[in-house]
Amino acid sequence: MSNAWEDVWGSDSDAEVEQSPDLLKLRDEHSKRGYLDGIVSSKEDNLQQGFDDGFPTGAQLGKQVGTIIGILLGLQARFGDEDEDLRKAYINAQKELQINKVLSKSIFDPNFDLHEKHPVIIKWTEIANVYCKKYHVASI
């Protein structure tokens, strides 16, 4: 005769343990957590590399935008009351030279390199230089 109390805390089979809803839920949670940890770790590593690679280009474009906006702001502050076109140009430059437009994906190649000069910066450099010449200020 077998003893029914022989393994009081054990289960009848290993299959029951593997199919336990609590165990399946725990396994699923750990699997998801591991997946998310891997994704986050990968993003952090790649984010830093992307920043390191893209910073020189972004910094240069930012400096150029700052120069253009600064010159137009100075000219607009001094001559804007009598030059409606200059006032409008300054307002349009602020809109077109916003960072999300300057650093738009469409400007860069698939490797996020800028092989040619930035078309919007070229446009606004030329416009700013026209006003610099008009008001006898050093051009960009």
If one counts every other C-beta atom within 10 angstroms of the C-beta of residue 75, the result is 21
Pick the more confident residue, 112 or 68. 68
Contact in structure between 56 and 113 (CB atoms under 8 Å): no
Q: What is the pLDDT of residue 61?
A: 93
Q: Report pLDDT digits (tens) over 13-67.
A: 555 555 778 777 777 777 777 777 777 777 777 777 777 877 888 889 999 999 9
Pick the more confident residue, 91 or 109. 91
Show me where the domains of the chain are located: 14-134
Q: Report pLDDT digits (tens) over 72-108.
A: 999 999 999 999 999 999 999 999 999 889 988 888 8
Residue 69 has pLDDT above 80, yes or no: yes
Residues 6+ apart with CB under 8 A from 78: 135
Residues 6+ apart with CB under 8 A from 11: 17
What is the C-alpha separation between 58 and 37, in angstroms, rounded?
A: 29
Q: At what angle do helices 21-79 and 84-96 cross, to 10 degrees?
A: 160
pTM of the predicted model as reported, rounded to 2 decimal places = 0.66
Residue 112, Ramachandran bin (φ over 0: left; ψ between -120 and 50: alpha; else beta)? left
